[in-house]
Amino acid sequence: MSPNQHQNLDFKIKIAPFGPASFRVEVTSSEGKATGTFKLPFDRAMLRNTLDGFRSNIKNSRDARSEDEVARKISVGEGRAILSPRQLGEGLFREVFQGDIETLYRKVRKQSWRERIPLPFKFEIAPEAEALINLPWEYLFDPRWGKRGDFLAFNEDTPVIRLWPGQEPRPPDTDPPLRVLLVSAVPRKHEEGLGNLEREIKAIETHLQQLNRPDEVKVRIDHLKAASLDELAEIVRNPERTPHILHFIGHGDTGSLLFEEQHTGQVKSASEETLTIMLRNASSLRLVVLNACRTARANNLQDQLGVAQSLADVGVPAVVAMQ
């Protein structure tokens, strides 16, 4: 369906600890409120093995042409996952969307479909709910939607969004042209792990350039190749060059991104603290895309929020990252 771009329905899900191995779920929507409880539908060993399997095979899904092919390629191969993406997503869905919460969900989603209005699902998970923060909520699967069921996040009208506690999305109120900064930071020691980087950059540039017209430039694209941390910092500090969208392509880990030193060629790890200090005062920044592994993961043992969560915590309105 063609979404109405001028309005959204609302469905916000807050999850916080409630008791031993139990969590309280509070839903606020445009059609009312509902509460319930949530327990992990799978034991921790099964979840760990499944997610390890997904991570080891996720690269096989890059050339997939359909939702089924994505799911199949993720769940097969060496390091086979115990659960398929559908099984994992359906288990999470059934635990969250039950009782009054499911009734409210069905009502709002039918309204979304009938009136052609987008329905984003906004998850706010309390930091104390450590067991839930790293779960792949983006796999939520509704087995009763349509004839075959539906992955919510695969539908552009029902995106799954994570909110940092207390944060609300800000509208992208920017004057054209929209400034997009593509940052490819691939240390030479790690080049083999990123596939065809130039093809990916070209695809992004081609799609964005289609928004421009001969008489009007709506998007201005800059590409910082083989970026060092110092080069990125210099651009961000310049009010005339600070991007509205920062798209990073490279390598990452829990709590850090990898860059290459400009003069020595040595690999430099930029911690989440360094990145937040750099970007927290970039007032024009509206979206950060982190195409780098584990940038959406937290490490509770080392007291790391994760790169994505850290950026959201200092006010970046929206962050897209990888687990």
DSSP string, 78-130: TT--SS-HHHHHHHHHHHHS-THHHHHHHHHHHHHHHHT----EEEEE-TT-H
User: Cα separation of 206 and 169, whole Å?
Assistant: 28
Q: Give the CATH fold of the 178-320 domain.
A: Rossmann fold (3.40.50)
Question: Can you give the pTM of this predicted structure?
Answer: 0.70
Mean pLDDT of the chain: 83
Q: Mean of the pLDDT values across residues 65-83?
A: 53
Residue 197: its pLDDT value, please? 77
Q: Mean of the pLDDT values across residues 127-145?
A: 90
pLDDT score of 304 more than 80: no
Reduced to 3 states (helix: H, G, I; strand: E, B; else coil), residue 52 is helix
Measured from the Cβ of residue 83, the count of other Cβ atoms closer than 10 Å reads 21
Give the model confidence (pLDDT) of 225-247 as tens digits. 888 888 999 998 888 888 999 99
Note whether 138 and 160 are within 8 A (CB). yes
Q: Token pair for residue 321?
A: 């990252």
- 74 φ/ψ sector (left φ>0, alpha ψ -120 to 50, else beta): alpha
Which amino acid type is present at position 24? Answer: R
Structure confidence at residue 78 as a pLDDT band (50, 70, 90) = very low
List own/partner pairs for 233-242 with CB under 8 A and 24 or more apart. 233/278, 235/181, 236/278, 236/279, 236/282, 239/284, 241/179, 241/181, 242/179, 242/282, 242/283, 242/284, 242/285
- Residue 147 burial (10 A CB sphere; 0-12, 13-18, 19+): exposed
Per the omega criterion (within 30 degrees of 0), is the bond before 317 cis?
Answer: no
Give the model confidence (pLDDT) of 143-156 as tens digits. 999 889 999 999 98
Residue 290: its pLDDT value, please? 93
Sorted by where each begins, the domain ranges of the chain are 11-42+83-163, 44-74, 178-320
pLDDT score of 80 more than 60: no
User: Cα separation of 80 and 64, whole Å?
Assistant: 18
Q: Which residues contact 267 (CB under 8 A, 6 or more apart)?
A: 187, 189, 190, 258, 259, 260, 261
Distance from CA of residue 77 to its chain's centroid? 25
Sheet strand arrangement including 256-260? 252-253, 256-260, 267-271
